[in-house]
Structure 1
Amino acid sequence: MIRDFPLPDLGEGLTESEIVAWRVAVGDRVELNQIIADVETAKAVVELPSPFAGVVTALHAAEGETVDVGAPLFSCDTGDGDAGADTGANADADAAAAAVAGAAPGSTAHAAEQLEADASPGPNLVGYGAAAETGPTRRARSTALSADLVPPAPTTAETENAAPVAVPAARGSERPRSTPPVRKLARDHGVDLERVTGTGERGLITRDDVEHAASSSRSDAEHAEHAALGRPAETRIPIRGVRRHTAAAMVRSAFTAPHVTEFLTVDVTGTMELLRSIRDDRAFSGHKVTPLAVVAKALCIAARRTPEVNARWNDEAQEIVRFGGVNLGIAAATERGLVVPNVKAAERMTLIELADAIAALAETARAGRTSPGELAGGTISITNIGVFGIDAGTPILNPGEAAILAMGAVRRQPWEHRGEIALREIMTLSLSFDHRLVDGAQGSRFLADIGAILREPGVALTMA
C-alpha cells in the first residue's frame, strides 16, 4: 500500500517549512522513526522521523524547496496489501498517519492505544511521534523501480576503488548517478549532469555538486556580461530559511512598535573584578561566567522593579500583557542567520546557573540544533554586540516583546573615579523599548538599575 506522509505542524504555528536535506532517496527502505529529512521552520532545523516503515517511492519536494503544512512530503510502500483491502487495517494506518501529521502533545499515546502497539517509543518531535503498527503479518509487496533510482549494493572492489560509478539506465545507456530531487534541481538550473563530477558516495552527484556547477556557469556568463557593460560581477543569494524569517520579523517589528532607544555608558570595573575572582575560585571551576551572564542577571533583577519592560502589546484584545517571569532571549549569530533562543524562568536562576544555561543555548544554536521550544515564548532579550568590538547600537525589538538590551564592548579608557582620572573598564548599554508599553521614565529607570548593578554588583543586594 502506498502511503503519503504530509508535512506536520511542528508546533510553531507556521504554515510552511523548507527542506534542508533529505536523508533518504527513492528506493531506500526506511524503518519506523528513522530520520528521513532535515526541515527548517522559522529559525530551527528539525530532524523529521518517518511515521511508518517501508520503501520510499517518491520525494515530493527537492532540497531547498518550501512545503506547506499538510502537503505530501514523501510516499512510502508500507507493504500493507492492495489499497481497498482489509479496510480495518487501513483505517488504523490512516489514524496513525493523522496522529503523526500534526497531533497535539499526548496524541501519540492515543494513536498507540488505537493500534495496540507495544514497541518501545522512538524519537519524539515537538509533541508527535510514530506508533508501531501491529496486526496480521503481511509479506511486503515488491515495488518495481528503475535501475537509475535504486543504486546497486557496493561490492568489495567498488569499496576499494573510489572512482565514480555510473549506474546503467533502463534502456542500456548510462546516466550519471543522482537522486530525483537532485535531477530536478539540475533541470531548474540548466545544469547538464553529464558534465558534473559527483563527490558523494560511489560518485553520487549531490545537491552541492549541482549548485556549484550552476554557480560556476552563472558566474562565467555574468562576468562576461558585466565586463562587456563595464559593471562589476554580481552574486545573487536566494532569500529563504532563517534569513527570510528574520527579515520579515524585523520589518514587522520596526513598522509596528514605536521604538525608543536610550544609551548609558557605565564603569564596569567592579563587574570585571567579580568575574576575575569567580574565574580564580576553584569552587566555580567548570563554569564559564561571562559579562553577558552578569548583564543577564542584572536585567532580571531590574525587570522585577520595572515590570512594564517584561510585557507585550495585545492589539486584538487591546490589552497590555505583563509576564510573571522572564524568558530571557539571547541573540546568537549562526551560519544560518540570527536566532534568539531563550532561557526559561531566568529570574529564578543564580548567576552560575544563568551562565551555564546561556552557554548551553549558544552551543546548541551554533550547532544548528535549536529546538522550536527554545525559540518560542521569549519575553525580553539581550544582544551582545560587544563581541564584534561594537560599542553601541539601536537594536530592533523581537516581535511580541517590549524591550531589548544591547551590551557593547568592554574597553579600558580614562574615566573619572573618586575625583581623579584613572584607567577603568567601560561599557555602553543600548536599550530599545516599545513606547506603547514603556514610557521614558520607566525605560530610564530600568536602564539605570542595570547600570547600577554593573557598576557595583553588591548593589543588587539592596534591590527588592
Structure 2
Amino acid sequence: MIQDFRLPDLGEGLPEAELVQWLVAEGDEVALNQTIAEVETAKAVVELPSPHAGTVTALHAAAGDVIAVGSVLISFDTQGADAAAPTPAAAEAPAATAAPASAAPEAEPAKAEPNLVGYGAAPRGAARPQRRSRAVAGRPAPSDTAVLEAAPHDAIQFGDITERPIERPRSTPPVRKLAKQLGVDLALIEATGASGIITRSDVEAYAARVGATAPSSAGATEAVDPAPATATQRGGSGERTTRTPIRGVRKLTAEAMVSSAFTAPHVTVFLTADVTATTELIASLKNDRSLQDHKIGVLAVAAKAVCLALGRHPGLNSRWDDGAGEIVEHHYVNLGIAAATGRGLVVPNIRDAQDLTLVELADAIRGLAETARAGKTTPGDMMGGTFSITNVGVFGVDAGTPIINPGEAGILALGAVRRQPWEHRGEIALRDVMTLALSFDHRLVDGEQGSRFLADVADVLREPGRAMLLR
C-alpha cells in the first residue's frame, strides 16, 4: 500500500520550507519515527521523522527545493510493514484473552495523518533507528577513527563494512550543502575548531588537499578546482557577482527588523561605565576550582544585571498589544541572547531567567550558543522572549543602535571591554571600560524610565556587589 507523506505544518504558521537534505533514498527500508530529512524554515532547521514504516518508493523534491506546506514530500510502500508491527495493546494482552477465530474482528481505526513534527513519538527508552551512508564513488568507506564527534540525534553505519554504529560529523546545513556540491564526504574531514564542528573552511581545505570531485548530472565525476571557493567561483566561472535567494533565517530576520523599525518608535541611549570590578570578579571566579566547568563572562554578569533591573523597571519587560489595545506587563523574564550563525542571526531565549543564579545563567548562555552554532536552535527556542541582549563587543565594536525584537520593549547592546585611562578616585588610572546601548519602544517606555534602567544595569557592572541590594 502506497502512503504519501505531505510536508506538515511545523507549528510555526509558515507556508513553506526548504529541503536541506534527504537522509534516505529510494529503495531504503525506513522505520517508524526514523529521521528522513532536514528542512529549513524561516526560523530553524527541523528534522522530519517518518510517520510510516516501509520502503521509500519516491522522493518528490530535491535538496534546495522550496516546498509548500501540504505538498507531497515522500512516498512509502507500507505493504506488510504496518501490519507486522504489533500495537502496544496487542503485545501486552495475554494469550488467554485472545478473541476466538470465529469472532468478527473489529474495524481498525484509520491512522491519523500527522500534522506536526514529532507525530507518533517512539516509546521512551526505544533505540532510534540507524541510517546507512552511501559509499562515495571511487573512494573507500572511512574508518572508525576518521569519524569525529557527531550530533547525538542520529547515527549511521557504513554498509557491510562495519557493524559498529558510528555517528555522523557535526556541521551546519550550509556546510553540508557545500560538501555535497564538492563531492566531499564529511566523515573524512577533521574539524579544526575547538567546538568540534566542521566549518566551510574545513571542507574547502580538504577539497583543495585531495582534489575533490563533484558528481555531474550523468552520474560521472568532474574535477573541481582545488583552490578555495570564492564568490566568483560560487557564482559560476567568469561571473562578477553572486546571487543568493533570500530565504530562511535571513528572510525572517529582515522582515522582523523592518516591521520593528517601522512600527515601534525606537529610542537609543548610551552609557559608558567602568567595569573593572566585574572583570576582576570574573577573573577570581575562573580561579575557583569548583567553577572550572562553568564559563562565566561579562555577558552572564550583564544578563544577571538585566534581570534585576527589569524587576525594578517593568515597563522594559512589557509588550504593546495593538489588537487588544492593551499593554501586557510580564512578571517573568524570557531573556533573548542574540547569536550570529552561518544561517544568520537567531535570538533564542532563556526561560524564566529571573530565577537563575549567575552560574546557571552562564551555563544557559553557553548552551544556547552551542545549539545555535550547530544549527539546532528550534522555533520554540526563539518564541516568547520578553527582553534581549546582543553582545557586539565580541566583534571589537564599542557601541551600536540595536533594533528591538518584535513583541519586546527593549534590547541592550554590550560593547567591547577596553583597557583605557579613566578617572578613578580622583586620579587617572587604567581601567576596564565598556559602553552600553539600550534601544527601547517609546510607546511603552519614556526617556526617564529607559535611562534609569540603563543606569541600574551599569551600577551592577561597576559594583557587582550591588546585586545583593537589588530584587
* Conservation of the 8 A alpha-carbon contact between 2:403 and 2:439: yes
Contact 1:259 1:435 (8 Å CA) reproduced: yes
Out of 116, 119, 132, the residue aligned to residue 102 of structure 1 is 116
Query: Following superposition of structure 1 onto structure 2, how do residues 181-260 of structure 1 map, counting pairs within 5 Å?
Result: 197-198=213-214, 216=233, 219-222=236-239, 233-260=240-267
Instruction: Pick one of 420, 423, 434 that aligns with 1:413.
Output: 420
Following superposition, the deviation at residue 38 of structure 1 comes to 0.7
Q: Which residue of 2 aligns with 1:457?
A: 464
Query: Is the 1:33–1:122 Cα contact (8 Å) retained in structure 2?
Result: no
CA contact (8 A) 2:29 2:55 kept: yes
Q: TM-score, normalised by structure 2?
A: 0.72
- Determine the structure 1 residue equivalent to 2:147: none
Offset, 1:429 = 0.3
How far residue 123 of structure 1 moved from its aligned partner, in angstroms, is 6.6
Whether 2:273 is the aligned partner of 1:266: answer yes
Describe the superposition over 1:217-243 as per-residue Cα deviations: whole angstroms up to 9, x where unpaired: 953353xxxxxxxxxx21222211111
1:447 alignment counterpart:
454
- Listed as ranges, the gaps of 5+ residues in structure 2 are 82-104, 143-180, 182-211
Per-residue CA shift, 1:8-58, capped at 9, x if unaligned? Answer: 222223232221111112222212111111111233212111111112222
The equivalent of 1:68 in structure 2 is 68
Cα distance, 1:160 vs structure 2? 8.1
**Percent of aligned positions that are identical:** 60
Structure 2 counterpart SS, 1:18: strand
The equivalences for 1:333-352 within 5 A come to: 333-352=340-359
Distance 1:51 1:240 in 2: 27
Deviation digits for residues 235-280 of structure 1, max 9, x if unmatched?
A: 2222111111111111111111111111000000111111111111
Give the TM-score of the pair, scaled to structure 1: 0.73
Correspondent of 1:92 among 81, 96, 110? 110
Aligned to 2:328: 321
Structure 2 letter corresponding to 1:46: V
Deviation at 1:437, TM superposition (A): 0.9
For 2:343, the aligned partner's letter is R
Partners of 2:256 and 2:3 in 1: how far apart? 36
Q: May I ask how many residue pairs the two structures share in their alignment?
A: 371
Alignment of 1:330-409 (within 5 A): 330-409=337-416
Q: Equivalent residue of 2:257, what SS?
A: helix
8 Å Cα contact 1:49-1:123 kept in structure 2? no
1:51 paired to 2:68: no
Q: CA deviation at 1:4?
A: 1.0
Question: In structure 2, what is the Cα distance between the partners aligned to 1:120 and 1:276?
Answer: 42
Which runs of 5 or more residues in structure 1 are unaligned?
Answer: 113-117, 125-152, 162-184, 186-195, 223-232
8 Å CA contact retained: 2:235, 2:242: no
**Contact residue 38 and residue 47 of structure 1 kept, 8 A:** yes
- The whole-number CA distance in structure 2 between the counterparts of 1:41 and 1:368 is 12
Tell me which of 271, 274, 277 is aligned to 2:284. 277
Question: Once the 2 structures are TM-superposed, how far is the Cα of residue 65 of structure 1 from its aligned partner?
Answer: 1.9
Q: Report the CA distance between 1:119 and its aligned residue.
A: 9.6
Cα RMSD (Å): 3.5
Which position in structure 1 is the counterpart of 2:20?
A: 20
Is the Cα–Cα contact under 8 Å of residues 234 and 242 in structure 2 kept in the other structure? no
- Residue 21 of structure 2 aligns with an amino acid whose one-letter code is A
AA aligned opposite 1:335 = G
Which residue in the other structure is 2:158 paired with?
none
What is the SS of the residue equivalent to 1:220? coil
In the other structure, the counterpart of 1:228 is: none
